[in-house]
């Protein structure tokens, strides 16, 4: 049984004999954290959306020519007409006012804070619900395993990475949402599997499952009105961060808890390849953020260096274009 002190310190130790999860094996002596930062992020996102809808006040700001507000019984919380926002949410003007990612404002009006504020805004109820389900499904288990500091760092830095990459390519549209941060958690899950390869069972199946989930979401990201570049930036940031902050002792070190008393375990806690992966990932992170930020605030247009990269976010077809 966990003591009161264990819980107050943020985690409890795993009971002996408990069957480890196939994706997150936990051995005797490892701490299992009590998640709280992911629920805080969950509540924060919902609170910001409520504030956004209050500020939007569709009935007061929408004319008959624009159409009828959806859910007028909600009063000032009513949604914009569907032809303006099919996701059941506020207007673009409201999102811009409250901190949406807008290239012009970030670069020329020195509002770099939008790189972070945009990840707390959502375009509508549909957008919010989809992201919050993903946050709880992915984030809760990760925080339980790795603690609030590391998961908060992955979430926030991945959101920032997604915003930076998005701003380098997208200049004429606003962007909001936590998708970059959520893709960062997926990326961190993948790199965590790779760097902690020795402690996993069914490791190939786990990697293939994660790659399939990521691939499906990336393919959906080429649809119009979806900022797939934020997804890609968040995923790459989280993938690199996973090698840095989610490294765990290798299998031999873990198993020392099951050795008879008096046994001499001289193996090192981490393997050489783990340190190499961490060093490479950290170097790429620093370079990536430094170059990305420098290009962004210089006003560089990354499309000039990569003429086909815009297809990563939207692919035009006979049914839609990518200009609007």
Please report where in the chains the tokens 């990269």 appear, as a residue.
Answer: 309
Of 91, 231, 250, 313, the catalytic one is: 231
pLDDT at 208: 86
187: CATH: 1.20.1540.10
- pTM for the structure as a whole: 0.86
Domains in the chain, number: 1
Which one from 179, 191, 250, 313 is the annotated catalytic residue?
A: 179
Residue at 280 is within a domain: yes
**pLDDT tens-digit series, residues 254-284:** 565 555 545 555 468 889 999 999 999 999 9
182 touches 213 (CB < 8 A): no
Residue 8 has pLDDT above 70, yes or no: no
User: Is 317 inside a domain boundary?
Assistant: no
pLDDT tens digits along 94-139: 999 999 999 999 999 999 999 999 999 999 999 999 999 999 999 9
The whole-angstrom separation of Cα 137 and Cα 10 is: 20
How close are the terminal C-alpha atoms of the chain, in Å?
58
Contact 142, 68 (CB under 8 A): no
> Any catalytic annotation for residue 267?
no
- The CB-based long-range contact list for 198-204 (8 Å cut-off, 24+ gap) reads 198/250, 198/251, 198/252, 198/271, 199/25, 199/27, 199/248, 199/249, 199/250, 199/251, 199/254, 200/23, 200/25, 201/22, 201/25, 202/22
What is the number of other CB atoms lying within 10 angstroms of the CB of residue 249? 21
193-205 per-position pLDDT tens digit = 999 988 877 778 8
Q: Tens digits of per-residue pLDDT, 54-101?
A: 999 999 988 888 889 999 999 999 999 998 998 999 999 999 999 999
Q: Which domain holds residue 235?
A: 37-250+268-312
Residue 10 belongs to some domain of the structure: no
Q: Is residue 62 part of a domain?
A: yes
pLDDT value for 13 = 43
Residue 214 located in a structural domain: yes
Q: What is the mean pLDDT of residues 179-201?
A: 91
- Please name the residues in contact with 179: beta carbons below 8 A apart, sequence gap of 6 or more: 131, 162, 227, 230, 231, 234
In a domain, 75, yes or no: yes
Whether 175 is covered by a domain: the verdict is yes
Residue 125, number of CB atoms within 10 A of its CB: 16
Is 163 a member of any domain? yes
Banded pLDDT at 223 (limits 50, 70, 90): low
User: What is the C-alpha separation between 218 and 231, in angstroms, rounded?
Assistant: 7
Task: Provide the pairing of β-strand 11-13 with 31-33.
Answer: antiparallel
Task: Verify whether residue 263 is a known catalytic residue.
Answer: no
């Amino acid at each position: 049984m966990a003591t009161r002190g264990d819980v107050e310190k943020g985690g409890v130790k795993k009971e002996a004999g408990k069957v480890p999860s196939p994706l997150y094996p936990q051995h005797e002596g490892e701490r299992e954290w009590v998640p709280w930062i992911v629920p805080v992020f969950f509540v924060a996102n919902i609170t910001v959306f409520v504030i956004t809808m209050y500020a939007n006040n569709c009935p007061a700001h929408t004319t008959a020519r624009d159409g009828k507000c959806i859910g007028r019984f909600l009063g000032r919380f009513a949604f914009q007409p569907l032809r303006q926002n099919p996701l059941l949410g506020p207007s673009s003007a409201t999102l811009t006012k409250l901190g949406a990612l807008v290239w012009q404002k970030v670069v020329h009006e020195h509002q770099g804070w939008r790189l972070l504020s945009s990840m707390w805004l959502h375009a509508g109820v549909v957008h919010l619900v989809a992201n919050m389900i993903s946050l709880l499904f992915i984030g809760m288990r990760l925080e339980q395993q790795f603690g609030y500091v590391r998961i908060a760092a992955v979430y926030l830095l991945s959101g920032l990475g997604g915003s930076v990459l998005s701003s380098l390519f997208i200049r004429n549209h606003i962007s909001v949402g936590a998708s970059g941060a959520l893709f960062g958690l997926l990326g961190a899950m993948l790199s965590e599997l790779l760097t902690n390869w020795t402690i996993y069972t069914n490791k190939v199946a786990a990697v293939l499952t994660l790659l399939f989930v990521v691939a499906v979401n990336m393919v959906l990201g080429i649809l119009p009105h979806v900022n797939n570049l934020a997804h890609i930036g968040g995923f790459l940031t989280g993938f690199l961060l996973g090698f840095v902050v989610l490294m765990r002792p290798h299998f031999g070190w873990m198993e020392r808890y099951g050795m008879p008393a008096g046994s001499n375990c001289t193996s090192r806690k981490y393997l050489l390849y783990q340190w190499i992966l961490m060093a490479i990932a950290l170097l790429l992170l620093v370079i990536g953020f430094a170059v990305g930020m420098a290009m962004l605030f210089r006003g560089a247009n990354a499309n000039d260096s990569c003429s086909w990269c815009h297809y990563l976010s939207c692919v035009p077809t006979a049914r839609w274009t990518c200009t609007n």
